[in-house]
Structure 1
Amino acid sequence: MTEIVYDNLPDGLLTTLTYGLSLAEHPDWQHGSPELCLSVNSTNVIWAHAVGFLAEQLRGTHPFSYGSTINFGERIVPESEMTAFCVFAPLALDRSDYLGIDVGIPGHEGHDVINIQGIYPIHEVERQFINEHGLETFWKSDWEPTDVLRRPAI
């Protein structure tokens, strides 16, 4: 698994992209395979390593579809109380830059399509709320998706 890390992109955020998750297969991946994108207000590169770790450990078994959650099982980084993630559209990219990216070689177009999924650190209570009430209800609550030191939104 490869983690591509950008410091201060966009302004003030640490952004990471994975590469390698999309090389696996999953029955839910009908219109492309995912790679992950995390953007957080932090300088701690452990966030990037955590996303790479999840992609490696869960590739082929987790769908990484919008609204899905992942229990990391412990604090992701020491300074944050967050222990889970949820998946939705990435904040740092325009829609045309994250859906339907054809990485196939010439003459093989349409066979290797990647969709970049946003992955967001959340608190355990938020993970449980999303699993019970859905991501849309949580997403509309008062929270800042890039703030890794915030209190739970619910």
Structure 2
Amino acid sequence: MKTNAELYMNKLEGIFGQEDVIRKVEPSDGSTPIHVFFYYDLPEEGMLTAVTYGLSDGEFIGWKNAKPELIISLETQDESWGLAAAYFAAEFRGVKTFSYADLFTLDEPISQESDMTGYFVFASAILEKEESVIELPDKTIQLVGMYPLYKEEFDLMKRIGIKDFWHNKDYDIYSVSRANLVRA
């Protein structure tokens, strides 16, 4: 009998193909690690997609129909972006819902290629709704997208809301070098 982790990996392979590398992030509380699966040149050449596993092993009162796992897809080859998402999963598992518009931030930039310091949660941009739901024997997983933000954009997001932020003509969901919308 396969474990949830093995079944999940099989589902990911069916969606994305074989992962290029798997990394592990250890939570500061010593609980089970978060694994992050990296897919280079996916969905297009020059892009990186990263998907977590382990967040859904936690419990949170707000998780009723499904438990989240995180997915990022960016125009980069820097694994720091996926590792940051895994870090947030490791540190906030059971603490935050990881629901649409949730914000996560660091004190320093996520990657040397950008001054962005955090993420907001929204629907995955590269998966159809049906593909973002993974049924396992004892839980349903919803893959939710993580999108990077500049520090100054956190207040903008709170002020104008996720819909207006997402539809801003200068917002590029895949770019790690896009203009800061507060300064644009």
- Per the TM superposition, whether the score is higher than 0.5 is yes
> After the TM superposition, which segments of 4 or more aligned residues of structure 1 sit over 2 Å from their partners?
none
1:76-91 aligned at under 5 Å gives the runs: 76-91=110-125
Task: Give deviations 1:98-139, integer Å, cap 9, x for gaps.
Answer: 13x2111xxxxxx40100000011111211111222111111
Deviations 1:61-106 (A, max 9, x none): 011101111112210011201011110011121111013x2111xx
Structure 2: unaligned runs, 5 residues or longer: 1-33
1:19 aligns with 2:53: yes
The percent identity for this pair of structures is 31
- Name the counterpart of 1:148: 176
Structure 2 counterpart of 1:67, from 78, 101, 109? 101
Is 1:6–2:27 an aligned residue pair? Answer: no
Aligned Cα root-mean-square deviation (Å): 1.1
Which amino acid letter does the alignment assign opposite residue 146 of structure 1? Y
Alignment match of 1:58 (pick from 92, 98, 105) = 92
1:24-69: CA deviation from partner (whole Å, max 9, x where unpaired):
0111111110000000100111111111111101111011101111
Report the count of equivalent residues.
Answer: 147
Query: Please, which runs of 5 or more residues in structure 1 have no aligned partner?
Result: 105-110
User: Normalized against structure 1, the TM-score is what?
Assistant: 0.91
Give me the TM-score of the superposition, normalised by structure 2.
0.77
Match of 1:124 in 2: 151
Task: State the AA in 1 paired with 2:148.
Answer: P
**Offset at residue 13 of structure 1 (A):** 1.2
Partner of 1:108 in structure 2?
Answer: none
